[in-house]
Structure 1
Amino acid sequence: MIRLPVLKHLTISDYGLFPGQPEGSGLDHEFQSGLTLIAGINGLGKTTILTSILRALTGPVDVTGEGAPHALGVSVPENPVALRPKQIAFFAQRVADGAQAALVVLSATFGDQSLRVTRRLADLSLVECVIDGVALPLAGARAEREASFQTALTELMGLGSFIDVLLIMHHVLLFHEDRPGALWDQNAQRQVLRALFLEKDDATRVAQLERLVQSADSQARNIQTRITATERDLREARKREAGSEGVIAQLEAEQKLLDAELVEAARLDSVLADLETERQTVRLEHEKAKHEREEATGAVERLKYTALLNLYPTMDDAARLVVARIMTQAKCLVCDADAEEKRKELEALVEGGCCPACGAEPEKQERIIPQHKFEQAKLDQARRQAELARKEEEAKAARLRVIADTYVQTIAKVGDLRRSIADRKARDQRLRASLPRSTTSDQFEKALVTLRGQQLEWRTKLGEHLLELRTLLSEKEELVTSRSAELMESFVELTNALLAEKACLVQVTAEPRYTQAGRAEDRLRVPAFQADMAAANRPGLVRRIDPSDVSESQRELIDLAFRLSLVRVATQGAPSTFIMETPEASLDGLAMERVGAALAKFAQSSDNRLIVTSNLSNAGLITSLFNGPAKDDAEVVARRGRLINLLQLAAPNRALDRDRAKYEQLLDHALTGDQP
């Protein structure tokens, strides 16, 4: 079972950036259940505190030497990568003494087990690790001590490898200001789903097979490079030895054409695979648009029929149906003729309250209910939606036709190319047979035979690894898809709270490209998730695939909802910690209040810990995080107990020295909820 950390206590001592109050006491904070707010202006060390929490658990390693990458590759490394010196020196370079005596001590629980870890901030070296009150043996070299710690933490979290620990820290639990995307980065999402929802042995094996597939593909491509060079050397040797310039020239010309056609064939294979994927996506979008158009048209029909029913309650049903059919579909129910002009005429009559049968004006009618007016505004809105839906359907249908035509044309090109390639290979063999042989050319040919044999071995291994990976993913797919309903339900609940627009999570199929060529037969299908969200000028919900499909704030809030949903589902409601840096960075005032309320709800559920940093740019967010204005002085005191106040604990910068009173007043207003 997955056990995410529940932070209990943080101490940072002898670190110049946090002298503490009184001076020299450092930073010492107990994380209570619920919210902890780290407040301070820019430059006081909010990011430094979050990084100290991260590095206490991860040490001097990460997914890459630079830390978490902005986007993950298709596979993850087998072992964590040592951080570069600049990253190791993150804490040391911020203080005059190089943090020589500085220590960070972090305590956390994982289910019913406890951990306390102590590290030197100067170089992130491990000083002590205590699990359930028992010190972990830390004998041997530094690398061996770190390996022991990594194994222990991996077991505490119930994950398959320390790389998975790093992935979960970066892409689920720590929502850093740089915001590496858990939802938007398909590779990151796939790796997170693998780590959280597969059994840990299976999760480890999937990651291993992904690396083996990439390695085999890389080896086969490297050998191809050597084959190409050897073939060139062979042609040159034959030219020197045979003096058959004409034949050699033909061979070289044919080889250039063949190489070009092989490259083009590989490109077209990749294009076909992309077209097939796009065709499936657009086909689904077209069906969805068609359904929305039918729904919108039906809404128009119902509005018009209801209007007739309200205006003329005694009208015969058959007559009402005849009139309604003309008004909704511009078709005559009696003779099935086109009735567009009649439709306009009837609508004008009804909208003016005139009888659609005889044209009598309202004041001359006796069998109507005058107070029921035709709800023109509702009808206009329904018509606009129906028109948007119709345009959407037509656009998708047109795109589908273009893709289908392109697909057919590409298939034809591939067929022509394959025939041409076969012909060129046959001509190449005939030309080669006409050349005289020599010791040198024989050596090159033998080398080619060896290289091609090696390449075949690697391609065979590639196929075997792909088959095992495909089989394993297929067998374990249910473990991911079985959690889909929970993820989707949680996502909708959270986005309803976070966003003004309606949004939902949709399960889709991803095709990670494990091989460089991206051939269709090398691709695997795995479960993935994307977001659908309402748009201002399109009917229904629109698929948002790329971060550029949404605004910056929407991108972050959708990803926040996905992360919190992953935490809920993976832990099955067990306590966890979620850390978010400066959520107010890209939000307007109203959005900040929604985000504050949603995060507060997470903080109050189970025994969760929510750690949020704020640069005091918006007091409304802080007040919302605390569930609104304080009711009395006792509540203000309680809120201060959940505060890491860097205005008091951090070494002051020039801005704080100059305007301390104003900043403290801003924080006071935020904690009390009083308007400044």
Structure 2
Amino acid sequence: MLPNIALPVFRSLKIAGYELFPGAGDAGIDRPILPGVTVIAGINGLGKTTLLNVMLRLLVGPFNPQKVNPFEVGAKSHDLVGWKHARRFFRSRVSDGAVHATARAGISIGTHDLTVERALKDLSITYLEYDGAELDPTEAEYGRVVVEATNVAQRYDFDFLVRYLVFFLEHRIPLFWNERGQIEAFRILLCEAQLADDFRKMEDDIRTKDSLYRNHRWHVNSLRNKLLRERSLLAGSSGQAAKIAALSEELQALRTRETDLIKEINSLASERSSLRSSILIRKIELEEATRAAEGLQQGFLLSIFPEMSDTARHVFGSLLSSRGCTVCGNRSARGQLRLQRLLDHGDCPACESPPEEQEQHARHDDLPRDQLEMVAATVARLSKSIAGEEARVRELDSQLRQLFIEERAAKQEMADRLSVLRHASAELPATAEELQALEIQVEDGDADLAVKLAELNALYAQYEDLLAAITARVTQVAEKVKEKFAQYSKAFLSESCSLGQQTYGETLGESRRFTYPCFNVFMTSAVSPEEETERTHTDDVSESQREFIDLAFRMALIAAATSENARSMLVIETPEASLDTYFVKQAGQMLREFAAGESADGNVVIVSSNLASQNMIPALLGLDETIPEDAWPDASQVNARVINLLAEGAPNAALRDRRRFYEEFLEVSTKGRIAYARS
């Protein structure tokens, strides 16, 4: 017996305060969703996809399935995680950050009524009502009531039904072409909550325990390999100890050599530092002595030629102080000696005139020779000391460079020896006590592995039983799924198309392979017009065929797996672009038939449609030639079933520039049921 799974069905939709959907008179979108087909009509850029995503997120909230690969549905875990775009997906589409924007939906799920309102800025729940009772607006409460109403095992299962059966959007993960997805659909749709939950938990437990088993096995095998290595070392370890002792002695000698080198480097570096300080002090003293000598010489020069100009005093002072000739730059002592000889005799230092020929007679003061000789001796001593110390510093620099080279070489040799020593030490056999402890670890590890493997095998056996139960459920509905698929696919595809039943193998855990039930598809083609051939991969069909096989399969599953009186909903994004002109009408009629459903209230089909040449709107609304004109819906019925984004959406540039064209297009598509006043 199949479970009574109920799918969510929209009864009403209200969007307020969202700039993308200002609505007529800036009142937002606020309308009932009637049984049957509802068309979202618009052009590119008016927000059709955004509106469909509002509907999706009203149901699933700010969560996504946790999965590494989106095509491996349920293959890694059955958990939901926070959607990373929840706080910016709707906010980024408007200028005010959607700070006051809300979306509210009235929803029927089986016999239960639910009202949920979410803030579009972050998808948090702002209002929650269930069967007439207002609840705390929390995700926990929402998850509890949708699981109860849908009759599934957990919120992940509700999320799966919404994403993979109810919604058929542009960026969708295929269900039919995804065997793993088929298994998830069978588990949730065809199994009562307990069986579905047991199967889910069993898969997750097997993955967890298999991972633990493999990790533990790796650890035990590492210990086992170590034990084998130690035993091998023990058998051939006679000369290893002597080799290690020799290496240890070499290493110790290298360490001693390194220590000696460091001491010598530190000693020479200290001496060099002291010398550099001494040289600095000597140079300061030399500067002071040189300046004293210059002062004495220039004072004497000024005393004997008091009328000498500043320029002459500077020139002769430079010669006397050994700074060289200011005219030619020569720094030899020749000029200084000549000047001193002339001054000793009172001759003019410039023209060499004797005193009796001079108009400005020189005074006969004596040169302060004692003071000059003392200062000169100091200058000579300091210059010699500085030269000697600088020579020693250069010598120390050379010695230190060589010592640094030797130190680096010693360090590298030590590192090489240490590496060899460690490798050799690692090859030493363990002691008897260490070997015994290792043997015990391996034995205990093997015992634990045996226990874990037994637990895994027990889980495998239970999983086989659960898988058999699911396979039986698939067999139970297989004929109805095939029948409905053939009916639906005929409306979408020109080729003859049917479903078959088969199995496929998949590994669960590391190596245990199980056989799962699934459906495959057979189709005629241009080269095989009479006989259907199996299409096993998406590359075996065209893109449009792939899309509509997947849609027909979803519709068939819904029809076969839900009870006859249960209502269903499909939300589909712009399918007409992939259809030939003839099949636009066929598909529209088929979606109307699906919307009529088998229940008294009928199903809901919400389809977005672009105002383009491949226009499905007449077929969706029952306004085409397949229906007698007197049976066409009237204007009030059409307006109740069209969410007209030309009127309720924020106009983009295309609509502002060509509004009349698009409005006339919609008028024609609705046979004048939606009309615009013309001035």
2:440 equivalent to 1:449: no
2:492 equivalent to 1:525: no
Whether the aligned pair in 2 keeps the contact of 1:74 and 1:513 (CA below 8 Å) is: no
Q: Distance in 2 between matches of 1:51 and 1:65?
A: 20
Query: Which structure has the greater CA radius of gyration?
Result: 2
Change (3 A) 1:244 1:663: farther
Three-state SS of the structure 2 residue aligned to 1:89 is coil
The aligned residue for residue 341 of structure 1 is none
Q: Distance in 1 between matches of 2:45 and 2:440?
A: 66
Within 5 Å, give how 1:31-430 maps onto structure 2. Answer: 31-64=33-66, 69-74=70-75, 76-77=77-78, 79-84=79-84, 86-138=85-137, 145-231=138-224, 233-234=226-227, 243-244=236-237
2:479 equivalent to 1:485: yes
Whether the aligned pair in 1 keeps the contact of 2:538 and 2:546 (CA below 8 Å) is: yes
Aligned counterpart for 2:613 among listed residues 606, 612, 618: 618
Q: Distance in 2 between matches of 1:21 and 1:65?
A: 41
2:8 equivalent to 1:5: yes
Three-state SS of the structure 2 residue aligned to 1:483 is helix
Change (3 A) 1:443 1:672: farther
The aligned residue for residue 329 of structure 1 is none
2:524 equivalent to 1:534: yes
Change (3 A) 1:516 1:654: farther
Three-state SS of the structure 1 residue aligned to 2:200 is helix
Change (3 A) 1:588 1:447: farther
Three-state SS of the structure 2 residue aligned to 1:11 is strand
Amino acid at match of 1:3: A
Within 5 Å, give how 1:555-570 maps onto structure 2. Answer: 555-570=546-561
The aligned residue for residue 429 of structure 1 is none
Q: Distance in 2 between matches of 1:118 and 1:179?
A: 25
Amino acid at match of 1:598: M
Task: Output the aligned Cα RMSD.
Answer: 2.8
Change (3 A) 1:618 1:216: farther
2:573 equivalent to 1:571: no
Offset of residue 438 of structure 1: 4.3
Q: Distance in 1 between matches of 2:97 and 2:220?
A: 53
The aligned residue for residue 465 of structure 2 is 471
Aligned counterpart for 1:591 among listed residues 578, 583, 587: 583
Q: Distance in 2 between matches of 1:164 and 1:245?
A: 67
Change (3 A) 1:185 1:65: closer
Offset of residue 615 of structure 1: 2.1
Whether the aligned pair in 2 keeps the contact of 1:636 and 1:672 (CA below 8 Å) is: no
Offset of residue 28 of structure 1: 1.1
Change (3 A) 1:106 1:507: same
Whether the aligned pair in 1 keeps the contact of 2:502 and 2:520 (CA below 8 Å) is: yes
Three-state SS of the structure 2 residue aligned to 1:672 is coil
Offset of residue 454 of structure 1: 3.4
Q: Distance in 2 between matches of 1:476 and 1:70?
A: 21
Q: Distance in 2 between matches of 1:480 and 1:585?
A: 33
1:114-169 per-residue CA deviation (whole Å, 9 max, x = no partner) reads 1101111111111121111111245xxxxxx3122111101111111111111111
Q: Distance in 1 between matches of 2:633 and 2:52?
A: 29
Whether the aligned pair in 2 keeps the contact of 1:12 and 1:26 (CA below 8 Å) is: yes
1:511-551 per-residue CA deviation (whole Å, 9 max, x = no partner) reads 3321233xxxx222332211111122246211122222111
Offset of residue 232 of structure 1: 5.3
Three-state SS of the structure 1 residue aligned to 2:531 is strand
Whether the aligned pair in 2 keeps the contact of 1:623 and 1:673 (CA below 8 Å) is: no
Whether the aligned pair in 2 keeps the contact of 1:505 and 1:529 (CA below 8 Å) is: yes
Unaligned runs of 5+ in 2: 241-428, 674-679
Q: Distance in 2 between matches of 1:65 and 1:654?
A: 39
The aligned residue for residue 418 of structure 1 is none
2:489 equivalent to 1:499: no
Offset of residue 505 of structure 1: 1.2
Whether the aligned pair in 2 keeps the contact of 1:118 and 1:129 (CA below 8 Å) is: yes
Q: Distance in 1 between matches of 2:544 and 2:153?
A: 34
1:199-220 per-residue CA deviation (whole Å, 9 max, x = no partner) reads 1111110111011111122222
Whether the aligned pair in 1 keeps the contact of 2:491 and 2:583 (CA below 8 Å) is: no
Offset of residue 107 of structure 1: 0.4
Amino acid at match of 1:529: F
The aligned residue for residue 574 of structure 2 is 582
Q: Distance in 2 between matches of 1:193 and 1:595?
A: 26
Offset of residue 622 of structure 1: 1.4
Amino acid at match of 1:617: A
Whether the aligned pair in 2 keeps the contact of 1:620 and 1:673 (CA below 8 Å) is: no
Change (3 A) 1:644 1:513: same
Q: Distance in 1 between matches of 2:55 and 2:670?
A: 25
Three-state SS of the structure 2 residue aligned to 1:535 is coil
The alignment covers a number of residue pairs equal to 474
Whether the aligned pair in 1 keeps the contact of 2:495 and 2:523 (CA below 8 Å) is: yes
Deviates more, 1:204-213 or 1:451-460: 451-460
2:540 equivalent to 1:549: yes
Q: Distance in 1 between matches of 2:92 and 2:15?
A: 16
Q: Distance in 1 between matches of 2:31 and 2:438?
A: 71
Offset of residue 241 of structure 1: 6.3
Change (3 A) 1:153 1:214: same
Q: Distance in 1 between matches of 2:19 and 2:443?
A: 66
Whether the aligned pair in 1 keeps the contact of 2:492 and 2:583 (CA below 8 Å) is: yes
Change (3 A) 1:89 1:70: farther
Within 5 Å, give how 1:16-27 maps onto structure 2. Answer: 16-23=19-26, 25-27=27-29
Whether the aligned pair in 1 keeps the contact of 2:45 and 2:652 (CA below 8 Å) is: yes
Offset of residue 177 of structure 1: 0.9
Q: Distance in 2 between matches of 1:658 and 1:236?
A: 82
Q: Distance in 2 between matches of 1:164 and 1:57?
A: 13
The aligned residue for residue 661 of structure 2 is 662
Q: Distance in 2 between matches of 1:154 and 1:246?
A: 73
Whether the aligned pair in 1 keeps the contact of 2:623 and 2:670 (CA below 8 Å) is: no
Change (3 A) 1:436 1:117: closer
Offset of residue 609 of structure 1: 0.7
Q: Distance in 1 between matches of 2:44 and 2:150?
A: 33
1:289-344 per-residue CA deviation (whole Å, 9 max, x = no partner) reads xxxxxxxxxxxxxxxxxxxxxxxxxxxxxxxxxxxxxxxxxxxxxxxxxxxxxxxx
Q: Distance in 1 between matches of 2:449 and 2:653?
A: 64
Q: Distance in 2 between matches of 1:472 and 1:568?
A: 24
Within 5 Å, give how 1:625-640 maps onto structure 2. Answer: 625-629=620-624, 631=629, 635-640=634-639
Whether the aligned pair in 1 keeps the contact of 2:115 and 2:130 (CA below 8 Å) is: yes
Amino acid at match of 2:527: N
1:359-399 per-residue CA deviation (whole Å, 9 max, x = no partner) reads xxxxxxxxxxxxxxxxxxxxxxxxxxxxxxxxxxxxxxxxx
Q: Distance in 2 between matches of 1:436 and 1:95?
A: 72
Deviates more, 1:470-479 or 1:435-444: 435-444
Whether the aligned pair in 1 keeps the contact of 2:18 and 2:94 (CA below 8 Å) is: yes
1:202-255 per-residue CA deviation (whole Å, 9 max, x = no partner) reads 1110111011111122222222333454455556656776654999xxxxxxxx
Whether the aligned pair in 2 keeps the contact of 1:503 and 1:532 (CA below 8 Å) is: yes
Identity over aligned pairs, percent: 33
